């Protein structure tokens, strides 16, 4: 990339641990005014990576843990600026969550005889309270995303055991029911079961 084509940096600090093209990729990927904003292929092209396979390069860069952590750091910082500009502070969030934890609702009913609207006493709004509890716990980090390990062999063995139990409960082909009585098929039983 020639110096004439270089864009001026947007003033954000990016870690010096990364090489120049990685830093440029991050700058293009996280700058809302860039063509590469949120698009790893375009960001890789703009950062000066090979024009032959920028999609693969962008994908590889996004798998790099240092690049990921730097993008996350910049994104969080930008998000905090947006929240601050909108007046969304931790204190206001805490106050609203507290109100959610104490939420009450009044329900309206129509009286069957008179047809008048009747209001209930304020009752606990359990659905709103549960949402507030969940949000508060997520903000505190109590509900951090957990990795789910999917063990196929364990699932297969449980499925096989369930099939075996089901097989044991159902009548076997060597058994049949005649007038509500289960009869084992054999030489003697078969003749008796055929007779009325």
pLDDT at 19 exceeding the cut of 80? yes
pLDDT at 92 exceeding the cut of 60? yes
* pLDDT interval class at 191 (50, 70, 90): very low
Instruction: Please state the rounded mean pLDDT for residues 149-171.
Output: 74
- What count of Cα atoms within 13 Å lies in the side-chain half-sphere of residue 31? 22
- What predicted TM-score, i.e. pTM, was given to this entire model? 0.43
Please tell me the predicted confidence (pLDDT) of residue 189. 47
CATH of domain 20-81: 1.10.10
Listed by start position, the domains of the chain span: 20-81, 97-140
Decide if 183 contacts 193 (C-beta within 8 A): yes
Residue 36 DSSP code: T
Please tell me the predicted confidence (pLDDT) of residue 59. 87
Please say whether the dihedral angle defined by the alpha carbons of residues 161, 162, 163 and 165, taken in this order, is positive or negative.
Answer: positive
- C-alpha distances (whole Å) from 145 to each of 129, 140, 151 are 21, 12, 19
State pLDDT tens for residues 25-40: 888 888 888 888 888 8
* pLDDT interval class at 115 (50, 70, 90): confident
Report the alpha-carbon distance of residue 175 to residue 184 in Å, rounded.
5
Decide if 29 contacts 38 (C-beta within 8 A): yes
What DSSP element (H or E) covers 65? helix 65-86
């Amino acid at each position: 990339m020639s110096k004439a084509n270089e864009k001026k940096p947007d003033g954000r600090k990016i870690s010096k641990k990364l090489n120049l093209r990685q830093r440029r990729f991050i700058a293009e990927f996280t700058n809302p005014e860039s063509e590469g904003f949120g698009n790893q292929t375009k960001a890789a092209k703009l950062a000066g990576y090979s024009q032959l396979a920028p999609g693969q390069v962008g994908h590889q860069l996004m798998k790099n843990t240092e690049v990921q952590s730097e993008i996350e750091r910049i994104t969080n910082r930008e998000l905090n600026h947006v929240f601050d500009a909108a007046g969304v502070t931790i204190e206001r969030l805490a106050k609203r969550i507290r109100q959610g934890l104490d939420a009450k609702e009044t329900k309206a009913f129509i009286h069957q005889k008179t047809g008048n609207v009747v209001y209930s006493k304020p009752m606990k709004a359990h659905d709103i309270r549960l949402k507030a509890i969940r949000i508060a716990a997520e903000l505190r980090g109590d509900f951090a995303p957990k990795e789910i390990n999917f063990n196929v062999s364990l699932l297969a063995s449980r499925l096989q055991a369930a099939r075996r139990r089901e097989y044991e409960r159902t009548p076997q082909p060597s058994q049949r029911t005649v007038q509500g009585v289960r009869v084992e098929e054999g030489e003697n039983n078969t003749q008796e079961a055929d007779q009325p």
